[in-house]
Amino acid sequence: MAERVIPLIDQRSRPLVVPRAAQPFPAPGQLVDSRGRPLRDLRISVTDRCNFRCSYCMPKEVFDKDYQYLPHASLLTFEEITRLARLFVGHGVGKLRLTGGEPLLRKGLETLIEQLSALQTLNGDPLDITLTTNGTLLGRKAKALKAAGLKRVTVSLDALDDNVFRRMNDVDFPVADVLAGIEAASAAGLEQIKVNMVVKRGTNDHQILPMARHFRGTGITLRFIEYMDVGATNGWRMDEVLPSAEVISRLQPEFALMPLEPTARGETAERWGYVGQDGKHDAALGEIGVISSVTHAFCGDCNRARLSTEGSIYLCLFASQGYDLRSMLRGGASDEHIREAIAAIWQGRADRYSELRASLPDHSGPRTARRVEMSYIGG
């Protein structure tokens, strides 16, 4: 098996060695960008609103003072989202992720999921419809979401301790209620539940082990995300990034872990399995993931486009500009015309922000115009 070694920023940590995916990339006939990357994944921001104020995403000082939420009329309607999603699926997209902002704040989201579930992929495989949420409304909505056709869910949770949670998310909400939301998702039959934990050195990194202990053996995959410099407001500093290699080296003394094969090209997380008594991966104990956008950029495999709340397409999480499809929709453009526009936009794509950042000595990121906020284009 071919292997790649993750370069380290923090030399105190051990190198990670993870297997390389074997699947062909791209498939023959697939729409590709200027770097040969296929379009597979569409992330749809259904609202720019959120009931949290995570310090790394929508810091209160900025979002409660300066930011104007979008007026309802400028949001894409469910019919407009579904029409665009159908055209993207026609270009080879097989995965739709609903996100935001907090997607469960968008009224009637189940109706959108029902409409999206009726779409047919090019190769006849079922469309993978998934959702990223902070979990606060999941307890109430999980059953209806599943019934509407949602397949999977990812819940963000940065700590088990209420005080640490408040420091990360700047909200008074009990962790127990997010955990209850996760349980409701599981009871409703949502599959492959994942938990995303953004790690900020000095704020919640001491929660890495308690989180791993909590989710080990539950069937839920916990993923540690390196804190990123997305948007223009979160005051990102490299010294608050805890490299994934260090996450693994903090877990290793307590848990034996082994690298696992990726399930698909373009996967953001590197997978690590808990090792059982026989020295092999014990599926009952499950796995964890690390998402190393800062210390090990994965732009080379990036197959994701983002549809903003207002209907613009963004080609990178760190983009400053999008391509306005809403005016085409509302201006009466035909499907064929929009399909061609999407193809031209994707074919011209050359983005690789995280790779460029990694090549700069201070990891300060390439100088660009003001970057769009993550809540607007969807995380």
Ligand X SMILES: Nc1nc2c(ncn2[C@@H]2O[C@H](COP(=O)(O)OP(=O)(O)OP(=O)(O)O)[C@@H](O)[C@H]2O)c(=O)[nH]1
Ligand Y SMILES: C[S@@+](CC[C@H](N)C(=O)[O-])C[C@H]1O[C@@H](n2cnc3c(N)ncnc32)[C@H](O)[C@@H]1O
Q: CA separation (Å) from 259 to 22, 231, 267, 282?
A: 15, 31, 14, 12
Taking residues 129 to 168 in sequence order and writing x for each that binds ligand Y by CB under 6 A, - otherwise, the string is ---xxx---------------------x------------
Beta bridge partners of 273: 258, 287
Residue 56 assigned to a binding site: yes
Cβ(23)–Cβ(13) below 8 Å: no
Nearest to 342 by CA among 47, 19, 86: 86
Q: Is 196 in the site for ligand X (CB under 6 A)?
A: yes
Which amino acid, residue 144? A
Total residues at the site for ligand X (CB under 6 A)? 17
Residue with tokens 């390389």, as numbered in its chain: 20
379 touches ligand X (CB under 6 A): yes
Span 216-245, contacts to ligand X by CB under 6 A? 225
304 carries a ligand binding annotation: yes
Q: How far apart are CA 107 and CA 320, in angstroms?
A: 28
Q: How far apart are CA 109 and CA 121, in angstroms?
A: 21
Is 304 near ligand X (CB under 6 A)? yes
Instruction: Quote the tokens at residue 206.
Output: 């001491």
> Binding to ligand X (CB under 6 A): which residues in 238-297?
267-269, 291, 293
Q: Which residues pair with 98 in a beta bridge?
A: 44, 131
Give the shortest CB-171-to-ligand Y separation in angstroms.
11
Cα–Cα distance measured from residue 290 to residue 241, given in angstroms and rounded to the nearest whole number = 13
Nearer to ligand X, 98 or 329 (CB): 98
Mapped onto helix, strand or coil, the DSSP state of residue 148 is helix
Out of 31, 57, 116, 159, the only residue in the binding site for ligand Y (CB under 6 A) is 57
Of the candidate spans 204-212, 243-251, 362-370, 371-379, the one that interacts with ligand Y by CB under 6 A turns out to be 371-379
Report 328-357 residues binding ligand X (CB under 6 A). Answer: 354
40 carries a ligand binding annotation: no
Q: How does DSSP classify residue 242?
A: -
Q: Which does 234 bind (CB under 5 to 8 A by kind): ligand SF4, ligand Y, ligand X, none?
A: ligand Y
Q: Edge-to-edge, what's the strand order for the sheet holding 191-199? A: 257-259, 270-274, 287-291, 221-226, 191-199, 152-156, 128-133, 95-99, 41-45, 304-307, 312-314, 323-324
Among 18, 89, 131, 302, binds ligand X (CB under 6 A): 302
Q: Is 370 annotated as a binding residue?
A: no
Question: Distance between CA 363 and CA 330 in Å, rounded?
Answer: 41
Q: Which of ligand SF4, ligand X, ligand Y, none has residue 227 at its interface (CB below 5 to 8 Å by kind)?
A: ligand Y
Interface region with ligand SF4, contact rule CB under 6 A, candidates 11-19, 179-187, 232-240, 352-360: 352-360
Which residues make up each annotated binding site? 43, 50, 54, 56-57, 97, 101, 132, 156, 194, 228, 299, 302, 304-306, 316
Instruction: List residues binding ligand Y (CB under 6 A).
Output: 50, 56-57, 99-100, 102, 132-134, 156, 196, 198, 225, 227-228, 230, 234, 374-375, 379
